[in-house]
Amino acid sequence: MSSSDVIRIGTRGSQLALAQASEVRARLMAAHDLPESAFAIEVISTSGDRILDRPLSEVGGKGLFTKEIELALLDARIDLAVHSSKDMATALPDGLKITGFLPREDVRDVFIGRKVPSIRDLPEGATIGSASLRRQAILKRMRPDLNVVIFRGNVQTRLRKLEEGQAEGTLLALAGLKRMDMVSVATEILSPKDFPPAPGQGAICIENRIGDERVDGLVAAISDRATTIALTAERAFLAELDGSCRTPIAAYAEHRDDGTLMLHGVILTPDGTAMHETVRTGIGEDAEAMGRLAGRDVLQAAGPDFFKGWAE
């Protein structure tokens, strides 16, 4: 195989990101009977990986984890990009598209306690670290007494901060821990009903250039239909709300074997004092419309001023 035939996969360089890229490569190898040498994993440093001293909401939001990778796609330095779906903005750069999603992993969040096993066991006023406005808002709603602080960095960095005593607990996605064989660090697995996940949580997505039929054909063989339908609804909900890392938004859709689709959408104020949610059911073919309607549901319930001020 010549070097021009090698399929270049772009990814961030964290342990989790590399595990995700390796899973995409393995699935492509199996689906198309290709050797590992047919692929090259290209590590691309993103702004989100380098800026660790400020909340994402202050320095650009979701695009910080994708911008440099998408530039590499547009410049044809890579052929496809592997992302955590929850990092993806709803509006992509011109010329790029999400081509497919792998079968979704567990959507739940986990609590990791330094001395106690669960959120309810934390002492009054305990410090909890999280980089997610959604997790912070839900925590504050559950336990207004907690001191919630910003925890940035990859999984290993956050666990190290916990060991150093910078906080009494933190929250992470169970899917990432499963992909790195680190589930044992979780002390409590949180119900998605009580602790709704981020839109796209647990799903790996593949992005490529519009019109690249070679990559389209490769990815079509590994893209999961049920995940695609669910993520279509969740991303439409997010788009209707103009959601970003500046807004605490949760959404979880499930496409069932009988063709029905359920979507649970939630918006909160950052301090957790106000929350509005909706549940819609329908069919998979209506996923995007369901997501849009669910977004309108919560906006109507919240009122026109809900996002003003704190979301700017």
CB 78 within 8 A of CB 69: yes
**Beta-carbon-side half-sphere exposure of residue 239 (alpha carbons within 13 Å):** 17
Q: Active-site residue among 5, 33, 75, 87?
A: 87
DSSP track, 11-36? E--SHHHHHHHHHHHHHHHHHHT--G
N-to-C CA span, the chain: 51
* CA-based nearest residue to 269, from 242, 251, 252, 248: 248
Dihedral (C-alpha) 212, 216, 218, 220: value to the nearest 10 degrees?
Answer: 180
| 87 catalytic per annotation | yes
- Print burial letters for 129-165: b (CB count within 10 Å at least 16), e (below 16): bbbbbbbbbbbbbebeebebebbbebbeebbebbeee
Q: Which sequence positions are flagged as catalytic?
A: 87
